[in-house]
């Protein structure tokens, strides 16, 4: 049975030194990129597979539905993966579907709506809806460690600190 070693939300998906560092975690043997647009674009899919391959890890690019299927049918085989999505919505959907994750890193989300999105770290903007989804994942779905950290050398900001900004 496979395991999600680390889940990450980052609009850039796989990029530079961040993935190199994260992929060197104990037990990681793969990177799962879960994004419907990228998975359906042959060129983008090959680009991300190539970028992930530079980390030395097997990189699998798939749609949200394919990720659910791969869990339901194969329990992610023997993969100990870093699972990356562009949005909180996709992580939320995967966890609610039953894919277990203990650690979730929020690395980079750009501002979409100046009236609703709050800058919670130097590289993350969240709206209240996404903040409440993260709270629910933590409290009701066993995602024990949710934190905000753009690069591994940045200071971690806890979910509790971020939620305080939405009161």
CA distance 143 to 101: 6
**Torsion of Cα atoms, 96 then 125 then 19 then 75, to 10°:** 0
- pLDDT grade for 23, boundaries at 50, 70 and 90: confident
Apex CA 120: angle with CA 102 and CA 4, to 5°? Answer: 15
Please give the pLDDT value at position 49: 87
**The total number of structural domains that make up the chain:** 1
For residue 26, pLDDT over 80 is answered with no
- pLDDT grade for 24, boundaries at 50, 70 and 90: confident
Reduced to 3 states (helix: H, G, I; strand: E, B; else coil), residue 79 is: coil
Please give the pLDDT value at position 122: 93
Q: Which domain holds residue 56?
A: 3-166
What order of strands is seen across the sheet that includes strand 157-158?
A: 58-62, 30-34, 80-85, 3-10, 103-108, 145-148, 157-158
Structure tokens belonging to residue 73: 């049918």
Q: Which residues of 95-130 are buried (b: 16+ CB within 10 A; e: fewer)?
A: beeebebeebbbbbbeeeeeeebeebbebbbbbeeb
pLDDT tens per residue, range 40-97: 999 999 988 888 778 888 999 999 999 999 999 999 999 999 999 999 999 999 999 9
Residue 157: CATH number of its domain: 3.40.35.10
Please give the pLDDT value at position 105: 97
pLDDT tens per residue, range 89-141: 999 999 999 999 999 999 999 999 999 999 999 999 999 999 999 999 999 99
CA distance 126 to 78: 34
Please give the pLDDT value at position 75: 97
Q: Higher pLDDT residue, 40 or 17?
A: 40
């Amino acid at each position: 049975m496979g395991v999600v070693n680390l889940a990450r939300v980052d609009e850039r998906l796989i990029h530079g030194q961040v993935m190199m560092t994260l992929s060197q975690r104990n037990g990681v043997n793969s990177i799962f990129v879960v994004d419907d647009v990228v998975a359906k674009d042959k060129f983008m899919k090959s680009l991300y597979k190539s970028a992930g391959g530079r980390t030395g890890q097997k990189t699998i690019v798939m749609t949200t539905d394919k990720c659910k299927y791969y869990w339901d049918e194969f329990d992610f085989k023997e993969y100990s993966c870093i699972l990356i999505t562009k949005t909180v919505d996709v992580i939320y959907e995967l966890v609610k579907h039953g894919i277990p994750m203990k650690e979730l890193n929020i690395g980079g989300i750009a501002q979409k709506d100046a009236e609703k999105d709050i800058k919670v770290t130097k590289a993350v903007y969240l709206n209240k809806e996404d903040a409440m989804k993260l709270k629910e994942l933590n409290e009701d779905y066993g995602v024990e460690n949710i934190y905000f950290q753009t690069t591994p050398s940045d200071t971690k900001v806890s979910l509790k600190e971020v939620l305080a900004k939405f009161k």
